[in-house]
Structure formats: structure tokens, C-alpha cells
Amino acid sequence: MEEVVVAKFGGSSLADSKQFTKVKDIVTSDKRRRYIVPSAPGKRSGDDHKITDLLYMCYQLASHGINFDEVYSIISKRYEDICSDLELDLDIKEILTDIKYKIQEGATRDYTASRGEYLNALILSEYLGFEFVDAKDLIVLDKGDKLDLEKTKKNVASTLADIPYAVIPGFYGANEEGHIITFSRGGSDITGSIIASGVDAVLYENWTDVSGFYMADPRIVDNPRHIDTITYRELRELSYMGAPVLHEESIFPIKSAEIPINIKNTNRPEDPGTMIVSESAPINHLETITGIAGKKDFTVISIEKTRMNEDKGFFRKLVSVLESNDVSIEHMPSSIDSISLIVSSSEINSKLDKVIEEIRIYCKPDSITTYPEMALIAVVGRGMINTKGTSAKIFTALANNGVNIRMITQGSSELNIIIGIKNKDFDKAISAIYEAYK
């Protein structure tokens, strides 16, 4: 059987016509690259805008009855410039006008945002001479807007069986009623993964603007060490905890088929990038720590109650207060007489007083203290399980750099350690841990 490679190109890889020519060179240099998934055009430079952000802005204005001509004209110009630079025979103006009309007439937020990928896929298919296949006809979401992977895989396999080369827009699918539904931000990575699983690809290439995964965010640490190979689980921990390189949900569709993912750099295609592989794949090098990532803006609710373990319903009551207020718990480290709830500040902020009051009523704690503006840092590594003293080393590194630790918790899989610190210490803490392990 012929080998197939699915290649997803991120926003910066398709930000302008120059980037499109690089993408064409990459695609045509390997005949196995048959199914291509583009994002919407991203930033061309630091102060530029992502098309998706501009589309959300148009929706916001339109939904308040405010004229959005000015923002839409920036979007139109980006696409028109790409088409004219590449001398394409595509009436992009007419398509743009039609989309604008739909937004004016009350198109949904998801429909509006999805047009960034839709337009880019139309242009790229024309430029590559590949067929355009709309993601709305392949990717099925159920009533709760959750991906129906089985139906989707069947659609992808049967539709693409007769189409040898295709471009499929990233970021969205459609529900049973045919309405467009987008994934969360960065979701074109998930589309690439879905297509790879549907066509049973030998490889899923994810092309971006860095030569793979680094041990820490290159915007925080100068020249961080490159990660050559990483497992699906480590990658998920890192991306969930803030490393944006690959959407954390990209792992699910390809995990069971063990399709490897290769993160590659569109601007340096000769670099090998990072391979993301299944846990069962043999990996030679076993460093203690694979990577460090983090997220800001959490609130810690710390609850003390002497002998809380003897109050049998305590944990249930505590969790149900959060559940009834529709707040998800990120982590819940505990000791004998105390427990901390770590929740995202944006979720809890407007409900904090109510939640605390209900905890007081139902759980009768000795005391409750809240700590706002907290950040979480995850130190991830499959080698940690075999190494003593990892937490001690992290503690020392942070203390030596004057960073106060509010909490530290190790996942039961011993794949990660999570540390809670103040938002303001975020960069300092990441750099300190990196220095201790580089």
C-alpha cells in the first residue's frame, strides 16, 4: 500500500505569499504528502494580527450592530494580496463579499471564525493544484459539540479514498444539523491528527515556525535545549500546561494507531524537528526531565480542617460546591489537615464569594484562605520515576532565585511535578528550573 503523510501548516507558515511558496516547495518535495491541512494566516511580524483574531472581532462588532467594514477590509486585503502575488485564478473577492454578507446577516461566532481556515484552504488548494475538501463534510461533532471520532474517521476514509491529493481546512467541523463548530484555539492541530488517523498515515507532520519542541519556551529562555523525541503523554502534559506548539487534544485521534507526529520548521525544512511517539517506541536517551511549561492566572483556595479525613462526606461536599457553581478543578493537592483547590481565575472570579460561602456552610472548615494571581509550572519527564531528589532539586533552584513556592504536587504517574508560584515570578521560575536541569 502506498504510504501517506498528512501535513498541517500553522498560521505563521501561511502568513503571506512568500510563506505559501515555501509550503509548496515542502509539499512537492515528497509525493507522500497528499493531505494538507492549513491554519488561517497568522502574524507576519510581532505587531501584526492573526486573521482568526480579526474574524472574532468582526463577529463581536456585528453582533452589537456596529459597522465592521474597517476590520473586514484588513482581512480581505491579506487574502487578496496572497492571491495576486501568487497570480491565482480564483475570484477571492466574490467569496470574501459573500462571507461578509453572512456575518452581517447574523452568522454564528464559530462560522465567522472558521472562515479564516476555509479561505486559506481554498487558496492553497488552487496554488498546489490539489482538490479542496471542506472539513464540514468530514468532521462530525455530536450534540455536546464533542468530536464523534468513529463517524469522522469513516467519512475521512471513504471520501479521501477517491481523492489522491487534497487540502482540508483546519479548526472546524459540523454538527448533525450541518452547523459549523470550531475546536478551541489552536485547533487546526486536531484536524491534522483526525485526517492522519482517517487515512491511516505513516506520519503526521506539523509544520510551524520553530524547529520542534524545546525544553522550555524560547520566548523565556535563551537557546533552550532541543527535544529530539518525546512521548505522547509527556507532550500532552506540556501542551496542556501552556506550551502552544501542539494542541493537547491532537494526541487522541492518532494514539491507538501509534502514528508518530513530527514537529517541523517551515522556514528550516532541513532541520529534523521533534518526533512525538508512542510510549511503546524505544527511546534511547532518558533525561530526568523532558520539558518545562506553565500557565498563569490561577486562584488557590486553601482549606484547613483538623482531621478532615474522618469527616467521610468532606471531599464529596467540597467537590459538589465547585460542580454546582460550574467551576472545574485544575489540581487538588492535600495533606492530613488541609486541602487546596486550584482553579482558573477567569472561571472563579465572579463566583469566588459565593463558592467560599458555600464551602463554609457545607464543609465547616477551620479556615479558608485564597491566593489570587498564581501560576502553575509543570516539570515533565518520563525519566523522573527513576530519579531520586527531583523535587528537592527544583526547590533549591527556586529558593536560590528568590521564588516562593505556594504548593508542589506530583502526579500519581510520576511523569510530572506541578509547582504553584506567584504570577510575577513566572519567567524567573522557568529560567531557574531550566538552568538546574539543562
Binding site for ligand ASP (CB under 6 A): 11, 39-40, 50, 52, 116, 170-171, 185-189
Percent composition of the chain: helix, strand, coil (DSSP 3-state, to 5): 40, 20, 35
Alpha carbon 179 to its chain centroid, in Å, reads 23
Q: Mark residues 148-187: x for contact with ligand ADP by CB under 6 A, - for none.
A: --------------------------------------x-
Comparison of 190 and 292: residue with beta carbon closer to ligand ASP:
190
In sequence order, the 6+-apart residues with CB closer than 8 A to the CB of 34 are 4, 5, 6, 164, 165, 166, 199
Closest distance of CB 336 from ligand ADP, Å: 36
Q: What residue ranges bind Mg ion (CB under 5 A)?
A: 10, 186
Q: What residue 125 binds from ligand ADP, Mg ion, ligand ASP, none (CB within 5 to 8 A, per partner kind)? A: none
Comparison of 54 and 62: residue with beta carbon closer to ligand ADP:
54
Closest distance of CB 239 from Mg ion, Å: 10
Residues numbered 21 to 40 that lie near ligand ADP (CB under 6 A) are: 39
> What string of DSSP letters covers 319-372?
HHHHHHTT---SB--B-SSEEEEEEEHHHHGGGHHHHHHHHHHHH--SEEEEEE
Closest distance of CB 98 from ligand ADP, Å: 27
Burial of 345 (0-12, 13-18, 19+ CB in 10 A): middle
Q: What residue 380 binds from ligand ASP, Mg ion, ligand ADP, none (CB within 5 to 8 A, per partner kind)? A: none
Closest distance of CB 209 from ligand ADP, Å: 5
Residues 380, 232: Cα–Cα separation, whole Å: 12
Q: Compute the CA torsion angle 196, 198, 199, 202 (nearest 10 deg).
A: 40
Closest distance of CB 226 from ligand ADP, Å: 9
> Is residue 425 classed as helix, strand or coil in its secondary structure?
helix
Comparison of 24 and 43: residue with beta carbon closer to ligand ASP:
43
Closest distance of CB 97 from ligand ASP, Å: 22
Q: What residue 218 binds from ligand ASP, Mg ion, ligand ADP, none (CB within 5 to 8 A, per partner kind)? A: ligand ADP
Q: What residue 209 binds from ligand ASP, Mg ion, ligand ADP, none (CB within 5 to 8 A, per partner kind)? A: ligand ADP
Comparison of 36 and 300: residue with beta carbon closer to ligand ADP:
36
Comparison of 42 and 381: residue with beta carbon closer to ligand ADP:
42
Closest distance of CB 358 from ligand ADP, Å: 37
In sequence order, the 6+-apart residues with CB closer than 8 A to the CB of 49 are 43, 74
Residues 88, 95: Cα–Cα separation, whole Å: 14
Alpha carbon 244 to its chain centroid, in Å, reads 5
Comparison of 42 and 381: residue with beta carbon closer to Mg ion:
42
Pick from 67, 64, 118, 68: which is nearest to 92 by CA? Answer: 118
Residues numbered 207 to 246 that lie near ligand ADP (CB under 6 A) are: 208-210, 213-214, 216-219, 243-245
Q: What residue 264 binds from ligand ASP, ligand ADP, Mg ion, none (CB within 5 to 8 A, per partner kind)? A: none
* Strand partners of residue 303: 339, 368
CB closest to Mg ion, residue no: 186
Q: Tell me, letter by letter, the H, E, C secondary structure of 233-300.
A: HHHHHHHHCCCCCCCHHHHHHHHCCCCCEEEEECCCCCCCCEEEECCCCCCCCCCCCCEEEEEEEEEE
Which cell numbers in the block locate residue 72?
A: 473586514
Comparison of 10 and 420: residue with beta carbon closer to ligand ADP:
10
Q: How many CA atoms lie within 13 A of 257 on its CB side?
A: 20
- Chain residues binding ligand ADP by CB under 6 A are 10-13, 39, 42, 186, 208-210, 213-214, 216-219, 243-245, 291
